Structure 1
Amino acid sequence: MLVFGTEMELITFIFVLFECLIFFFQFIYYLFRPQDKKRLFYLILLFLLLIYNFGANLFPDERIPLPIILQNIIAYSSGFLMAAYIPYYFYKVYDLKKLRFLAYYGTLLFIVAPFVLFFIIGYSLDGDLDNASQRGLFIPMLYGGYFVYAIFKEVYKKLKENVNSENIINAVIVCCAVLPWSILPVIVYMDCSQTIEVLVCNSGFCIMTIIFIRQSIKESKAEYKLLQEMNKGQIKQEERYELNCKLYNLTARETGIVKLIDKGLKYKSIAEELFISERTVSKHVQNIFIKVGVSNKVELIKKLNE
């Protein structure tokens, strides 16, 4: 069943309405806490999903005053754009360091390059969409399979380091979330119906939303408990410093750098202490400033000691 005389089916329209509602409330929440980078990554993912649901399901339409070739390129670009962002999302949000290559270079080589080569250039020249789809989706399809393998391997490695019920649940949910995204190129490659494509794509997002909300609730409870203890004066100064670092979502590396800054060490000395480059230290410090909402080291130390 199509809606409003467009090529969009009813189930797609329902998902779009639901996701627009989620985006609105999450964006309002982010405005109050701009240091929450995980929420920002989630909002970007949701925005790209909305673009995909519109672009892939409204185009092509002969009633739209755009060339059909351009409409098809726009439709496919929305899917490739979202596919290019997903490895980066998992790399950043779940702190899977081994996915760095896939998140940056793998995306350019195996998603962006095939799209430019086969759709923007090839399809524009010969107008053969079937040929562009068969060739342009084959490499991303293989890449999606390898990405699933890399995710499973990294999640299993993290799970082995600390086996408990909470980590087992998180590992299972993450693996369930990545599967629908990985098989999406296969669905498009096989030219399945819009209903199947939408269900597969949006089911992955729904699982990731469950993960995100679950983590947000857990962090909010911990933060509330922390604030209560702070107000009661039950936390020593050094503990307060550590907890403030957690409150601003500083990573273990960033917390270590802050402690060295607090001791008066320069960037060069910090780099030597941590066996990293001075440029890397500077990059970490800039990220810390953004998270804490300060512009210099004096403000940073003062705020974390409050």
Structure 2
Amino acid sequence: MASYFPYYFYRSYNLSDLRFHATYGVILSLYVPFTLIFTTEYLLSGNIDSASAQGLIIPAGYSLVLAYVMFRAIRKAFEKEIENREYLEVIGIYFSVVPFVAIAFFPGIDQVTEAIITNLGFTILTILFIRRSILQARTDRDGKS
């Protein structure tokens, strides 16, 4: 799921700096290395846990690069509008992605811990959505009065 976020930010906020990462980077740096390393090591060793852990090394490193590139693109796009609510909302959405990125660094965690970490991201998104809905309702109410 985390591999969708670069594309989401690229399309939703017109962040042209993310074009390569949104269209090619995720496939080249996440899916291809994991598939090749996982498949090769599993076929050679037969140890699925080791193959899974080794297969996540390159994607985990790329996720750090991607997190930095996404943050830089957001900052660049909104640098003149730091006080704008939309900037704060985009930064909030960015931080809701962080738990999904963090999963790559914990290959052996149990399902409950993984669910808690990823649900933290969904919780942040929900809070942002509720906040936006309240602000929109206030704007609509003040506009009709």
Q: TM-score range by the shorter chain?
A: 0.7 to 0.9
User: Match for residue 117 of structure 1?
Assistant: 36
Pair 1:100–1:112, CA change in 2 (3 A): same
1:228-249 CA-partner distances (Å, limit 9, x unpaired): 7xxxxxxxxxxxxxxxxxxxxx
- Greater relative contact order (Cα < 8 A, sep 6+): 2
1:101 match: secondary structure: helix
Contact 1:88–1:104 (Cα < 8 Å) also in 2? yes
Which AA in structure 2 matches 1:198?
A
Contact 2:74–2:91 (Cα < 8 Å) also in 1? no
| 1:136 shift after superposition | 0.7
User: Match for residue 211 of structure 1?
Assistant: 128
| 1:97 shift after superposition | 2.2
| 1:192 shift after superposition | 2.8
Greater radius of gyration (CA): 1
**Structure 1: distance between partners of 2:88 and 2:56:** 33
Task: Say yes or no: does 1:163 pair with 2:82.
Answer: yes
User: Match for residue 197 of structure 1?
Assistant: 114
Contact 1:123–1:132 (Cα < 8 Å) also in 2? yes
**Structure 1: distance between partners of 2:60 and 2:123:** 22
Which AA in structure 2 matches 1:142?
G
**Identity over aligned residues, as a percent?**
35
The structure in which a higher percent of residues are helix is: 2
Contact 1:147–1:182 (Cα < 8 Å) also in 2? no
| From 152, 168, 185, the counterpart of 2:104 | 185
Which AA in structure 1 matches 2:111?
Q
**Structure 2: distance between partners of 1:179 and 1:93:** 18
1:255-274 residue pairs with structure 2 within 5 A?
none
Which AA in structure 2 matches 1:141?
A
Task: Say yes or no: does 1:83 pair with 2:5.
Answer: no
1:192 match: secondary structure: coil
User: Match for residue 175 of structure 1?
Assistant: 94
Which structure 2 residue ranges, 5 or more long, are not aligned? none
1:164 match: secondary structure: coil
Pair 1:127–1:166, CA change in 2 (3 A): same
| 1:160 shift after superposition | 1.5
1:151-209 CA-partner distances (Å, limit 9, x unpaired): 21122223312132524532441332122122110022xx2333332211121122123
TM-score (ref. length: structure 2): 0.78
| 1:220 shift after superposition | 7.2
**Structure 1: distance between partners of 2:35 and 2:25:** 15
TM-score (ref. length: structure 1): 0.40
**Structure 1: distance between partners of 2:18 and 2:63:** 13
